[in-house]
């Protein structure tokens, strides 16, 4: 009895001298000194006072122990601490993390909770804590990132810079989109910061050059699972300079690295410039290729856009003159049967041009989003196709159609030069004759007369079967097939060409393919559309290529020399058309033609927008 009384008295004294001041100051909290009277063997007063929790009472965490007497009697014992009461954001992040899935609690990382001092951005603490469990990633300490962190460089990537501190998301399937995206996005956070890279002496255009590559463009379009990301080449943790023999990007290891995706990679294949740029000193081949293609783009567009603008203005003037003449003298025709139809194109010509339109629109719709991958509309296009893989499949299918019509054009050219019986003359006479699409000296005269007409210095010229701009379009197909077709095949089958071509040839092919495609789409959707549909006398559409028909008046006014030649040769009657094309046929092709023009003009608008607001 006496022992129990003395124990109660001691508790009251302790309550008066220790607990009451704490209650007065902190509400129901108990001063830590009261707890440390018994628990000084577990928690040091000095260390706890100096810790980040030193200003808190013990019962701030051990809330159930506010019943001090019950605890002292052994009736109330501490339960697991709920950190969420104070650390709600961190707990929410942890709750959705891979640590929570694997039952890793706060205390597993913050085991020194009573002595925990302020972090103050000390990355070494984080790294040391992580590798205490993740000892299979100790190679990180030997990497450029790990060495930088241990040397005190706060710019160097520590574990939490990539994986976060609390919201550590599970990566799941290594081939999933989320996983593939993660292995590049975390690298961009630092390597896209040019100022950070410059002060650390790191190649500061790595992100820019990656984003301009096929790999980077697919990543940017939202399909990282289809291409190589940063970690695929540089690894996730053991990132070393290329000069280090242990580096994944060391010359001796590149074949194995590339073979992860390109099974038949060769030493020649690995000569590809993964971060090649237009730097004249580092990559002279790429620089001069880019310079040549840019020169071709500027000169071609410069000449033909000026040509189109002059024609547009002169055409408007001519239309006004004709309108005034009609108002003054009435509607008069000096040509008998002006609307009698003559055949300009055969069914095989119409079919061939149909193939050209379908393949070209398909290639443009699937290729331009890759060219302008930084644009929101490009992402929308790829989403419409379902994926970049679907777009690539459509692109290659249309490329196959292109090779088919090119082959047919070659066959028709050979047939014209060597086989046809209705064309007189030897091979050279046929090649440079009026029925040929090969340029000749007459075209120089036609160009000169056309420019004189533009400048109001001569009458509008008439032409034979083919005009100089039509010949240019035809010849451009041959150049385009070698430039776009050849480079496209290289990019389509890189492993095959990598057996006998150095890897940097694919860098060259990428520049040629991209810029030549830009030239082709820009030319067709502006210059060609104007020449055939947009000029005042043809607007809004010339259907001759769809139905092959041309009225007599147009025949005489525009191709008067061909008319006279056919009259002189006595073959004009062979081209007369007595039966017009069917209604359904006309309806289909007119709808198809307007749709094609609408798509082309829309793509021009999107390209102009991309150049004005993009990184090109």
- CA of residue 418 relative to chain centroid, distance: 46
pLDDT in tens, 113-126: 888 888 777 888 88
User: 10 Å Cβ neighbour count for 108?
Assistant: 13
Domain boundaries, the chain: 2-79, 91-168, 284-613
31 with 18: CB under 8 angstroms?
yes
Segment 301-323 shows an average pLDDT of 93
Q: What's the pLDDT at 35?
A: 79
User: Distance (Å, rounded) from C-alpha 267 to C-alpha 424?
Assistant: 56
Token pair for residue 222?
């939202």
pLDDT at 376: 95
* Residues 45-75: tens digit of each pLDDT: 788 888 888 888 888 888 887 777 778 777 8
CA distance 293 to 518: 10
Q: Which residues neighbour 98 within 8 Å (Cβ) at sequence distance 6 or greater?
A: 168, 169, 170
d(CA 314, CA 353): 29
Residue 301 has pLDDT above 80, yes or no: yes
> β-strand 341-343 against 549-551: which pairing, if any?
antiparallel
Between vectors from CA 391 to CA 390 and to CA 394, what angle results, nearest 5°?
A: 90
Rounded to an integer, what distance in angstroms lies between the CA atom of residue 616 and that of residue 613? 8
Backbone angles phi, psi at 29, to 5 degrees: -70, 150
| Closest listed residue to residue 371, CA positions, set 479, 554, 515, 155 | 515
Beta carbons of 382 and 222 less than 8 angstroms apart: yes
Q: What mean pLDDT is predicted for residues 332-342?
A: 81
H or E element in which residue 605 lies: helix 583-613
> What is the value of pTM for the model shown?
0.85
List the structure tokens of 515.
């810029």
Alpha-carbon gap, residue 26 to 23, rounded angstroms: 5
Residue of 432, 408, 417, 430 lying closest to 346 (CA atoms): 408
The residues facing 550 across adjacent strands are 342
Best CA proximity match to 273, nearest among 245, 241, 249: 249
- Residue 466's pLDDT band (cuts 50, 70, 90): very high
What is the percent of the chain with per-residue pLDDT over 90, rounded to a whole number? 64
Asked if pLDDT for residue 504 goes beyond 90, the answer is yes
Task: Give the N- to C-terminal CA distance of the chain in Å, as an integer.
Answer: 92
> Which residue blocks in 330-424 are alpha helix, DSSP H?
347-371, 376-385, 388-414
pLDDT(24) > 50: no
CB of 465 closer than 8 Å to CB of 434: yes
Backbone φ and ψ of 544, nearest 5°: -60, -35
- Give the pLDDT confidence score for residue 13 in this predicted structure: 44
Q: What value does the mean pLDDT take over residues 573-597? A: 91
Residues 321-331, mean pLDDT to the nearest whole number: 77
Residue 355: per-residue pLDDT: 96
495 secondary structure, DSSP code:
H
Tell me which DSSP letter residue 335 carries: S
The conformation of residue 576, written as its DSSP 8-state character, comes to: B
pLDDT in tens, 510-527: 999 999 999 999 999 999
- What is residue 104's DSSP assignment? -
pLDDT category of residue 109 using cuts at 50, 70 and 90: confident
Three-state SS for 494? Answer: helix
pLDDT-based confidence at 19, cuts 50/70/90? very low
Q: Which pLDDT band, with edges at 50, 70 and 90, does 500 fall under?
A: very high
Radius of gyration for the chain, computed over Cα atoms and rounded to the nearest angstrom: 39
Structure tokens at 326: 């009609």
CA distances from 58 to 33, 68, 542 (A): 9, 11, 88
**Is the confidence at residue 332, as pLDDT, over 80?**
no
pLDDT tens track for 222-264 = 999 889 999 999 999 999 999 999 999 999 999 999 999 999 9
Average pLDDT, the chain: 89
Q: What is the pLDDT of residue 26?
A: 41
Dist CA 68 CA 30 (whole Å): 9
Backbone angles phi, psi at 569, to 5 degrees: -85, -5
Most confident of 46-50, 165-169, 179-183, 440-444: 440-444
Q: By the 8 A CB rule, do 148 and 82 touch?
A: no
What is the rounded distance in angstroms from the CA atom of residue 162 to the CA atom of residue 371? 30
pLDDT in tens, 549-577: 999 999 999 999 999 999 999 999 999 98
CATH superfamily of 284-613: Transmembrane di-heme cytochromes, Chain C (1.20.950.20)
Q: Which residues face 551 on adjacent strands?
A: 341
Q: Hey, how many other C-beta atoms are within 10 angstroms of the C-beta on 456?
A: 8
Confidence grade of residue 94 (pLDDT, cut at 50, 70, 90): confident
Number of H helices, E strands in the chain: 32, 2
Nearest to 389 by CA among 222, 510, 511: 222
H/E run at residue 550: strand 549-551
Peptide bond into 540 cis (omega under 30): yes
Please give the pLDDT value at position 146: 92
Least confident span in 21-25, 163-167, 276-280, 311-315: 21-25
Q: Quick check: 22 pLDDT over 60?
A: no
Q: What is the DSSP track for 166-218?
A: S------STTSHHHHHHHHHHHHHHHT-HHHHHHTT--TTHHHHHHTSHHHHH
């Amino acid at each position: 009895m006496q022992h129990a009384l003395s124990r109660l008295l001691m508790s009251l004294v302790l309550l008066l001298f220790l607990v009451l001041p704490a209650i007065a100051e902190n509400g129901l909290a108990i001063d830590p000194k009261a707890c440390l009277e018994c628990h000084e063997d577990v928690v040091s007063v000095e260390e706890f006072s100096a810790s980040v929790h030193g200003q808190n009472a013990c019962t701030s965490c051990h809330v159930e122990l506010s019943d001090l007497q019950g605890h002292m009697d052994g009736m109330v014992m501490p339960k697991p601490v709920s950190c969420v009461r104070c650390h709600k954001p961190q707990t929410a992040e942890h709750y959705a993390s891979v640590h929570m899935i694997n039952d890793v609690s706060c205390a597993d990382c913050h085991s020194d909770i009573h002595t925990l001092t302020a972090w103050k951005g000390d990355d070494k603490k984080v790294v040391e804590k992580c590798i205490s469990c993740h000892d299979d990633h100790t190679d990180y300490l030997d990497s450029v990132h790990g060495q930088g962190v241990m040397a005190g460089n706060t710019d160097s990537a520590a574990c939490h810079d990539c994986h976060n501190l609390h919201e550590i998301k599970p990566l799941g399937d290594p081939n999933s989109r989320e996983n593939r995206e993660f292995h590049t996005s975390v690298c961009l956070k630092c390597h896209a910061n040019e100022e950070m890279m410059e002060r650390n002496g790191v190649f500061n255009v790595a992100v820019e050059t990656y984003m301009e590559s096929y790999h980077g463009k697919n990543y940017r379009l939202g399909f990282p699972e289809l291409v190589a990301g940063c970690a695929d080449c540089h690894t996730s943790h053991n990132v070393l300079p290329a000069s280090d023999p242990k580096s994944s990007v060391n010359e001796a290891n590149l074949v194995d690295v590339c073979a992860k995706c390109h099974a038949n990679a060769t030493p020649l294949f690995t000569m590809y410039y993964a971060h090649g740029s237009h730097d004249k000193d580092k990559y002279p081949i790429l620089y001069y290729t880019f310079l040549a293609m840019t020169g071709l783009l500027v000169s071609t567009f410069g000449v033909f856009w000026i040509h189109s603008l002059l024609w547009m203005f002169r055409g408007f003037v001519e239309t006004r003159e004709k309108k005034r003449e009609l108002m003054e003298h009435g509607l008069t025709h000096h040509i008998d049967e002006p609307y009698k139809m003559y055949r300009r194109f055969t069914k095989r010509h119409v079919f061939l041009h149909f193939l050209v339109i379908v393949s070209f629109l398909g290639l443009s719709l699937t290729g331009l989003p890759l060219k302008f991958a930084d644009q929101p509309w490009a992402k929308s296009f790829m989403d419409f196709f379902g994926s970049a893989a679907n777009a690539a499949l459509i692109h290659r299918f249309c490329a196959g159609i292109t090779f088919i019509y090119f082959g047919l054009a070659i066959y028709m050219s050979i047939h014209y030069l060597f086989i046809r019986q209705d064309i007189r003359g030897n091979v050279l006479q046929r090649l440079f004759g009026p029925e040929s699409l090969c340029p000749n000296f007459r075209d120089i005269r036609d160009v000169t007369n056309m420019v004189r007409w533009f400048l109001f210095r001569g009458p509008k010229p008439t032409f034979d079967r083919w005009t100089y701009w039509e010949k240019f379009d035809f010849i451009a197909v041959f150049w385009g097939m070698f430039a776009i077709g050849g480079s496209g095949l290289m990019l389509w089958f890189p492993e095959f060409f990598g057996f006998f071509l150095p890897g940097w040839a694919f860098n060259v092919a990428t520049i040629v393919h991209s810029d030549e495609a830009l030239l082709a789409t820009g030319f067709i959707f502006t210059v060609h559309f104007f020449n055939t549909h947009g000029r005042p006398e043809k607007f809004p559409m010339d259907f001759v290529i769809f139905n092959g028909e041309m009225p007599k008046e147009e025949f005489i006014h525009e191709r008067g020399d061909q008319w006279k030649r056919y009259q002189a040769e006595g073959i004009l009657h062979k081209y007369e058309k007595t039966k017009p094309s069917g209604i359904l046929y006309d309806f289909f092709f007119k709808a198809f033609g307007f749709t094609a023009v609408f798509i082309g003009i829309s793509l021009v608008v999107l390209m102009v927008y991309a150049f004005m607001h993009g990184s090109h």
